[in-house]
Amino acid sequence: MTLLDAFLRALATLVVLLVLPLVIGQTEHKVMAHMQGRLGPMYAGGFHGWAQLVADGVKFAQKEDVVPAGADRRVFQLAPAVALLPYLIVLVAIPVGPNGLVGATVDAGIFFVLAAMGVGILGSLMAGWASANKYSLLGAVRSAAQLMAYELPMLLAAASVAMAAGTVSLPGILGAFHWWWIPWQIIGAFVFFTAGLAELQRPPFDMPVADSEIIFGAYTEYTGLRFALFLLSEYAGILVLCALTAVLYFGGWHGPFASGLGWLWTLLKTFALAFVVIWLRVTYPRLREDQLQRFAWLGLIPLALLQLVITGVVKVVTS
């Protein structure tokens, strides 16, 4: 790979990280407006509220950047970047299309992306600890507990795909993909996607930012553009989770005319899954903390282990 090629790939990844999460955020405004009868997001700019995203950006830019008097200023200011950076790193390793259309090929791709996604929790922990606010600290501790509970089923579900493909490389998994995988990997897809939602603290797994109890969790003291960075990291996390699910379980760039339009299939599958994320937000109520932990340890982990057993049996029978 030449230096120019590496630069162009890095630039393309950066553009994707900055643009597609904003598109997902705009889509969430519109979908929630239709599903819940919210009129506000349908007015900004006229037709169908096309300027809502611009209005939100102007709003965040105009707000005062406040740092609490008792806060650890350096850690407080660094936390939003720490929350966002891991998703940029993960996007580099996700194959978008055939013929090497990927930012960087990583041999242990599955473990690399899952490890990088786990680093994002440090942003919440830093924000909660540095804010000098008991509600922020409580939200950060809840985030850590939630990550510990849902990281294990997510890893187990990804391991079943690696076992089926015989490789932990993401391009290698797509190279070994067959459409008949989907029926016998559907349990793993459910576990992986659900655990990913919980790690992102998306409803109904949003106990760390439960506004009725702890205001807005670790992000309570943040304003303006720093708060906007946390929102961007949330939508970037949705993009990464949906792209990974599409690659691991639904064939990624595989589809009609894949040789020329493979990247389009990856994008369509990613946004279809992002719609499911938004749909779940407006459909299900927030879980209690005990329900959230019970669902992980008594629900998802046994299902992930069952998927590993099924995968092992299929591999033995078909080998």
pLDDT at 173 over 80: yes
- pTM, two decimals, is 0.90
Mean pLDDT, residues 246-257 taken together = 85
| Positive or negative: CA dihedral 306, 312, 315, 317 | negative
Q: What is the pLDDT of residue 241?
A: 94
Q: What is the pLDDT of residue 59?
A: 83
318 vs 281: which has the higher pLDDT:
281
Please choose, from the candidates 26, 20, 15, 42, the residue with its C-alpha nearest in 3D space to the C-alpha of residue 267.
Answer: 20
Mean pLDDT, residues 75-89 taken together = 89
Mean pLDDT, residues 35-44 taken together = 76
pLDDT in tens, 107-127: 777 888 988 888 878 888 899
Q: What is the pLDDT of residue 272?
A: 94
Mean pLDDT, residues 154-177 taken together = 89
Q: What is the DSSP letter of 287?
A: P
Share of the chain above pLDDT 70, in %: 93
Assign 270 a pLDDT band (cuts: 50, 70, 90).
Answer: very high
Where do we find the tokens 């590496």? 6
Mean pLDDT, residues 199-215 taken together = 80
Q: How far apart are CA 269 and CA 165, in angstroms?
A: 20
Q: What is the pLDDT of residue 102?
A: 65
pLDDT at 304 over 90: yes
Mean pLDDT, residues 28-45 taken together = 79
Q: What is the pLDDT of residue 159?
A: 92
pLDDT at 21 over 70: yes
97 strand-pairing partners: 101
101 strand-pairing partners: 97
| Positive or negative: CA dihedral 275, 140, 225, 35 | positive
Q: What is the pLDDT of residue 248?
A: 92
138 vs 212: which has the higher pLDDT:
138
pLDDT at 1 over 60: no
Q: What is the pLDDT of residue 194?
A: 95
Report residue 187 as tokens.
Answer: 């349990």
Long-range contact pairs involving 201-204 (C-beta distance under 8 Å, separation at least 24): 201/143, 201/146, 201/234, 202/234, 202/238, 202/277, 202/280, 202/281, 203/280, 203/281, 203/284, 203/286, 204/280, 204/284, 204/285, 204/286, 204/287
Which value, in Å, is the radius of gyration of the alpha carbons in the chain?
Answer: 20
Q: Which of 28-37, 149-158, 202-211 has the highest mean pLDDT?
A: 149-158
Q: How far apart are CA 183 and CA 186, in angstroms?
A: 5
Mean pLDDT, residues 282-307 taken together = 90
pLDDT in tens, 60-77: 888 888 888 888 888 898
What average pLDDT does the chain have?
85
